[in-house]
Chains A and B, each alone.
Chain A
């Protein structure tokens, strides 16, 4: 059999004939006397450029749209203007506009690097045990009865996103009510996370554009008409994107309603310590729900409050009715994470554990955290003052009333586009700005841009 279709120039391997006859035997067992040359179904093309001939199984696939939040940074990076300002992603920036690695984090990292006994072995599926315990204590309080009674199942996850997804998947498999209620508006990625977890996503009223504050009436009404046992996503503090948080009174009303309907709270805590500057104060809402003895889910992130963004450090805790239930729940959480990532990444969690277990480093962290929160609060005031000084029409007091990293400016998407075009200011199209991206140098540019947008585009 002459291998006539072998590409010219390719080495004529002595086994080529044998290979072809083997192949023919496999393809045409009933016709052993047919040759490759006669039977086109045994003909092979050995062209190395076959892939370029358009036979991909994914040929029909469309390009996905940019992520609405991360896409802002992509667009920002492409902008050649020297005056551009990125107020898109919630990543802290110093007064000089630089990313910040906390001193205490650097120290922890150096300690880890210098320790020759440290290995990089796999963590257990549930993650670093110390990290898990310390994270639960951080959010629930060291004296929390739920912790003391071993009713908390905690697994290390990939920051807030990973914790939400693992929690969602767990609920999709094990919880009887497959609907989750999320606030309107909420962080853009929440919908996708829960949809892919197999949950139906519905919304409850949250933000009142008229007051730029909380629509408590709508909130409570929507939960009242939701089914018994529904899952409810709650932002523990510093609501993203609005910066509008319930007061303690309002939380109590929410809690009572939810517990009366056996609703399952799913807290998202991405800003503990970053909102008020105080870790315990920012955990009050969560602790109220734990104090009544009930169950809840808690997704925790260290991205912002420890500046560990890219290390992807977080934890999912489920407060259960009993230690026995918590044990079973933990075993099932492992079945969710094993086929996703096998086990979580070591580096960031080691840094967190190092800091949280050392009282001096913990204290240093609280000081640096408060400094970040204070700078943001100060930028709020500066922006407010700048708009006031320009006589920009409208009530801008929400800038100083809202809490956390973001301000929901109330700007329309047309105004946002205008500001991007004319002033090279980048924010998400819902008018959310990251205060962390502001500093004394660019706050006036922003105020000018807002002023222009508001006066020129109604």
Chain B
């Protein structure tokens, strides 16, 4: 026993360890692992952080790491909301909810399906306060790891129970959508969405692709504030899409990451979903509280699937839980507590509604300001799309070369597809931004 103890302790002190380690370096079991490509969005942040210019502006919509140096004057990091001083914002209703939690509530495991009260409130937001589907218990719903987790659970569920199905994803979309369905091993197809020439919706292309898809196809639709274009169908267009879906028996899966954040009114932002529900569709829905409650890092969301009846909803929920268990067992409690405290308390809920409207209004205000500034500068181009588009992002229509000039000459950072995160625009930098955009886009 003593000899063995000596062996054990000598292993940690032995000088030959060097030789052993070199041997290990050559024979690492992971020596063949390739470096992964850099994330196309996060790479923008890295460049931004390295830029020494005091004028630099980040409208890349990236997620900065938690420790953003305060020396960056107007941090436009977004993909996360910023206030008019360029600072991240914690909602008052959230702070109050956290005050109530700290010191009072325990941290026991949630059930596999997550917080029941959070789910109930989430369904009301998405399906309507008085939804008969909620009353009749026809909706299978589980708490998920924000929008990503909800989409992933749905993709895994789709793979397991409809293994021959595919998913139609709009062009363009949030890049992680492709990763999610790919990792779930669900084949992907693209459908037409954005119309570059008008910087709006390619509605006839969209309808054509819906029609040409085989009957019963699965489509992923952005419920509001399309990411990255900010281009949403009108209510009328949504109705036509819904009717065509009905005829084709397609399954609509809604990714709703911006309810309340788009127009400032959660009911209005859920209109597309409500139209589909009225038309009798079976739908799936991913909800996220990352933006509309500013809960980004808490990872709170909900996945729901409308079923024929209560029995089926119970079965579907049980199967969703079977997918969650080997991924994370049960979802995190803190963010769910924050959401349920806010939505269950009428005063806090009202405060939230005001605060989310405040965020949406500021962004809408910045859209107007940016457009007006460009017009005042005498830009001959049309900038209508800045105010036609909605939500956090604006697809400016600038070319990669123009974006590069913005970065190199003006220290303005955005993704090379010309996407501007409006959340990062402030009254302090909108003039500078407009000037720079005008400079790189004006005819020679």
Residues of chain A whose beta carbon lies under 8 Å from any beta carbon of chain B? 15, 19-20, 22-23, 26-27, 41-42, 44-59, 61-64, 67, 70, 89, 91, 99-101, 105-106, 109-110, 112-113, 118-125, 128-129, 145, 149, 158-159, 161-162, 165, 174-176, 189, 192-193, 195-196, 229, 248-249, 252, 262, 264, 287-288, 291-295, 303, 307-312, 318, 320-322, 325, 327-329, 331-332, 334-336, 338-348
Contacts and interface: CB of A to CB of B under 8 A. Distances in A.
B75 to A, nearest CB: 11
B50 interface: no
Contact of A329 (B30, B208, B251, B305): B30
A341 B146 contact: yes
A345 B305 contact: no
Given A158-B328, A340-B152, A46 B280 contact: yes
Nearest to A322: B25
B109 A26 contact: no
B29 A328 contact: no
Q: Which of B42, B138, B299, B335 has the most CB atoms of chain A within a 10 A radius of its CB?
A: B299
A443 to B, nearest CB: 22
A229 B312 contact: no
B108 interface: yes
Nearest to A99: B106
23 contacts: A20-B243, A48-B278, A58-B162, A101-B107, A109-B102, A120-B94, A121-B88, A158-B332, A159-B328, A161-B325, A189-B326, A193-B326, A292-B20, A308-B107, A321-B21, A321-B24, A327-B35, A328-B36, A332-B34, A341-B146, A346-B297, A347-B332, A348-B332
B29 A262 contact: yes
Contacts of B39: 125, 334, 338
B170 to A, nearest CB: 18
Contacts of B279: 46, 48, 50
A58 B161 contact: yes
Nearest to A252: B4
A351 B179 CA distance: 31
Nearest to B279: A46
A293 B282 contact: no
A58 B34 contact: no
Interface stretch (B58-66, B194-202, B353-361): B58-66
A44 B21 CA distance: 71
Given A189-B329, A196-B326, A321-B30, A347 B334 contact: yes
A411 B270 CA distance: 54
Given A26-B208, A51-B281, A342-B176, A331 B297 contact: no
Interface string B268-308: 00000000011111100000001000111111000001111
A120 B109 contact: no
A287 to B, nearest CB: 8
Interface string B200-225: 00000001100100001000000000
B109 A310 contact: yes
Contacts of A62: 315
Nearest to B156: A196
Contacts of B80: 121-122
Given A119-B88, A322-B24, A346-B299, 11 more contacts: A26-B211, A44-B247, A51-B138, A51-B281, A119-B66, A125-B42, A161-B327, A161-B329, A291-B8, A335-B36, A345-B332
Given A165-B328, A340-B145, A341-B145, A110 B102 contact: yes
B257 to A, nearest CB: 11
Given A121-B80, A292-B11, A47 B280 contact: yes
Interface string B163-179: 00000000000001001
Interface string B317-346: 011011001111111111100000000000
Contacts of A59: 308, 312
B312 A56 contact: yes
A288 B30 contact: no
Q: How many B residues are at the interface, by size bracket?
A: 35 or more
B110 A70 contact: no
B81 to A, nearest CB: 10
Contacts of A64: 315, 318-319, 321-322
B247 A252 contact: no
A127 to B, nearest CB: 10
B297 A122 contact: yes
B251 A57 contact: yes
B33 A332 contact: yes
Nearest to B322: A64
Contacts of B382: none
B315 A348 contact: no
B55 interface: no
B72 interface: no
Nearest to A65: B318
B24 A295 contact: yes
A408 B306 CA distance: 42
A149 B4 CA distance: 27
Interface in B23-66: 23-36, 39, 42, 63-66
Given A57-B216, A328-B34, A161 B326 contact: yes
Contacts of A63: 314-315, 318-319
Contacts of A99: 106-108
Nearest to A123: B297
Contact of B66 (A15, A128, A310, A338): A128
A347 B335 contact: yes
Nearest to B67: A129
A53 to B, nearest CB: 8
Nearest to B249: A55
Nearest to B94: A120
Contacts of A121: 63-64, 66, 80, 88, 296-297
A132 to B, nearest CB: 12
A52 B243 contact: no
A347 B211 CA distance: 46
Contacts of B35: 327-328, 331-332
B333 A311 contact: yes
B149 interface: yes
Q: Which of B5, B28, B88, B244 has the most CB atoms of chain A within a 10 A radius of its CB?
A: B28
